[in-house]
Structure 1
């Protein structure tokens, strides 16, 4: 599933554009012409312009979809916004010029007025910005909503702590007192800040579901690590990351994060944790 589909979620942008594109075209007609006579010629050009609008919207949508895979917002926001605005503008304006010149060549009776290149293309540029703004707004709204839900869930989890079996009794360990969960020799362990280990009878996959996501991250198959145990990270070859751990707290080697997991980790690590 692409990032584009993730942040749109259940939002039906197809339905939005079925309404928005004809509306934009109608506004353009009133901005372009002081007096409109609705005859067969006007209806024909209106239909062609509306169809062109849908194609332009589709081009913007596909460009954003492509950029979501190559340059996600969370990796380089400024760079992504600049590339998105420039690329959608060039692609859409190029298509409008090419299609207009082609239609005029086939059915026109003279050259296209210079106003098309000075006034009309400027109006189209404004609408390109509007459509970009809609999709950028959708992304950040969904991100804000998901973050809010996640923090509410994490806050509830943090009040409970993590249950371990200590002898014949069940003990709750505060999440702030847990440095990591790890697997060694096929056994899963919890390690506290005091360097004490508790064996667990569940897998890391099951443990992850019981943890506040803002505090813990599964960096690879063997380790789920608490945020406070991570000092930072640096880039390695092939897009991998080397995570620097707090050696003064627990003696443990720095860990490698794969290229696939790296974007998610950077997004997680850059998001501030809640405080009780």
Structure 2
């Protein structure tokens, strides 16, 4: 069960293993460049570089395990700041603690004395910065995959969209996708206009419908209007980069068709995707 949970969590951070298999040796090499001004290429350099790289890999695995544990007991949630701060603190302390302890142990075994003072004044600071970078990569991967999942779920939902259920007296009617023409805010309500010339009141807000209608067919022109592609004939340019959508002449409802300068590029890309 634990293994299945770890596998599910690890999917959120792919391809972290490949990233850090390549990145950690580069970090070790960069640390050498920052720390030593006169690097001599010999067997001792190869030995110390190998030890530092192995330390880096183990420290990364410790960080990875802590992040996976936090995903189970303290997910990011809608307010992720607490999780991020705790993750930064725990992973940096654990990672640095491991590096410091093993460095001291290796120094006593090989040299018979503690690590040099520059290790604490220079190296520890540099390594601490790298732990922040590692956390940044994991946080970025998490939100990248989360956004992908949201987009996939949204696409799936929108692909299955059949229409909108409306109330008409004591009836509930399904307005098919092909008959939806536009939506407009009317005082405290949202009005649904159909291609058959009918109007219905909707309970949900225009913001709700903007998020849930198929993006391929519907576009929010402004604060008051969402329009279906099928009733659009084109648009005309206004001053200061603004646009005004033009609808079929047979559709004679009073609509707010203005498009702001900020939204004009998105509307053009949506209306003429292959141009």
Normalised to the residue count of structure 1, the TM-score between the two structures is 0.57
Please give the secondary structure, in 2, of the residue aligned with 1:35.
coil
Cα distance, 1:193 vs structure 2:
11
Residues 49-128 of structure 1: pairs in structure 2 closer than 5 A: 49-74=52-77, 76-128=79-131
1:147 is matched with which residue: 130, 150, 158? 150
Matched residues in 1 for 2:92 and 2:143: separation? 21
Find the counterpart in structure 2 of residue 20 from structure 1: 23
Matched residues in 1 for 2:169 and 2:20: separation? 54
Matched residues in 1 for 2:208 and 2:132: separation? 31
User: Where does structure 2 lack aligned partners over 5 or more consecutive residues?
Assistant: 173-202, 214-275
Cα distance, 1:155 vs structure 2:
1.9
Residues 110-259 of structure 1: pairs in structure 2 closer than 5 A: 110-158=113-161, 160-161=162-163, 174-175=164-165
Question: CA contact under 8 A between 1:8 and 1:139: conserved in structure 2?
Answer: no
Matched residues in 2 for 1:61 and 1:10: separation? 10
CA change 1:116–1:16 in 2 (3 A) is same
Find the counterpart in structure 1 of residue 14 from structure 2: 11
Cα distance, 1:10 vs structure 2:
8.3
Please give the secondary structure, in 1, of the residue aligned with 2:160.
helix
Please give the secondary structure, in 1, of the residue aligned with 2:140.
helix
Matched residues in 2 for 1:61 and 1:6: separation? 11
Cα distance, 1:195 vs structure 2:
9.2
Find the counterpart in structure 1 of residue 217 from structure 2: none
CA change 1:37–1:100 in 2 (3 A) is same
Q: What's the C-alpha RMSD, in Å, of the aligned pairs?
A: 2.8
Normalised to the residue count of structure 2, the TM-score between the two structures is 0.58
